[in-house]
Amino acid sequence: MSNQPGIFSSAVNLDLGGASQPAPGDAPAGAAGDDAVHDVVIVGSGPAGYTAAIYTARANLNPVLLAGSVTAGGELMNTTEVENYPGFIDGIMGPDLMNNMQQQAERFGADIRYEDVVSVALEGEVKTVTIEDGTVLKARAVIISTGSEYRKLGLEDEERLSGHGVSWCATCDGFFFKGQNIAVIGGGDSAIEEATFLTKFADKVTLIVRRDEFRASEIMRQRALDDPKIEIRWNSRVTGINGENKVESLDLVDTVTGEPSQLAVTGLFVAIGSDPRVGLVKDQLELTAENTIAVDGRTSTTSLPGVFAAGDVVDPTYRQAITAAASGCVAAVDVEHYLAALDS
């Protein structure tokens, strides 16, 4: 899947703060070494992190964004066509959208590093962020935009057969299932998107839904019902994954009658939602009942001064690319106001 070049060719000022924008190519702060105290370090990318980087870079805050070594771009890197992001009449591939955002952030001077964060220390006026090679970055403000991660079934053989028929990413692995019968678990938009995409390769896709109806939007429901290559197993739950070296079949149980059955498939794609990535901060920041980072109202302000959060890691409800991007904007503006207050 090829990435498109950046689409933002004109320097139109879309922010509300009226901040002057650095010239493209200006060296980011901290280039002389990591002993510097950065204005802001952003942990995590995706729509929230990249948007926060765009806004803070244009506010001359010289952000450092730690995108992760393999998770850069977040969940949208694993999606196919994004049809509901404003401004793209014919839709845009998820990876292309993330590539555009990344290039736009870099255009304004954001320092994007493909490093994994192993720990953070968020109390005090200067926060520290430690990456995997032991480098410690110091910052006056930190934005947490770590997103969410795929939810697993918790079955005994799920991990053992991961990469041997069990997958959480249709765009990554669908090609390997040409001409096969496979299954997708889930009843939401993501599950139907995965199932629809997989019909390009598989002979048959069985969509396994726990209830007698979808949770998906109406347009996605109809898409699944109209696709001749998708068969739906309502009121069904997977209780086992069978196969010695690769997936051979699934054990199912009817959620209404309790009757067991078996489904012969060679692939299983799990699309049952995701959980917020709060492992780095769960012992330092206040969390909500939904295990997201708690923020104050519509702001990005967390329980610690100088620490802000954005994207799916704060959002248990909407979890859309557009709301994540908006959340990243909020975090950037909050950081700008916070630092201005410190300096006044």
Active site residues: 169, 172-173
Report how far residue 90's alpha carbon sits from residue 110's, in angstroms, rounded to the nearest whole number. Answer: 29
Beta strand pairing call for 181-185 and 267-270: parallel
Report how far residue 222's alpha carbon sits from residue 213's, in angstroms, rounded to the nearest whole number. Answer: 12
Q: DSSP for 159-196?
A: TTTBTTTEES-HHHHGGGGTT-EEEEE-SSHHHHHHHH
Buried b (16+ CB within 10 A) or exposed e, 180-212: bbbbbbbbbbbbbbbbbbbbebbebbbbbbbee
Q: How far is CA 153 from the centre of its chain?
A: 19
Residues 174 and 151: beta-carbon distance below 8 Å:
no
Query: What's the distance, Cα to Cα, between the start and end of the chain in Å?
Result: 48
| Residue 258 structure tokens | 């309790």
Sequence-separated (6 or more) residues with CB below 8 Å from residue 186: 192, 194, 207, 208, 209, 270, 271, 272, 273
Report how far residue 145's alpha carbon sits from residue 138's, in angstroms, rounded to the nearest whole number. Answer: 17
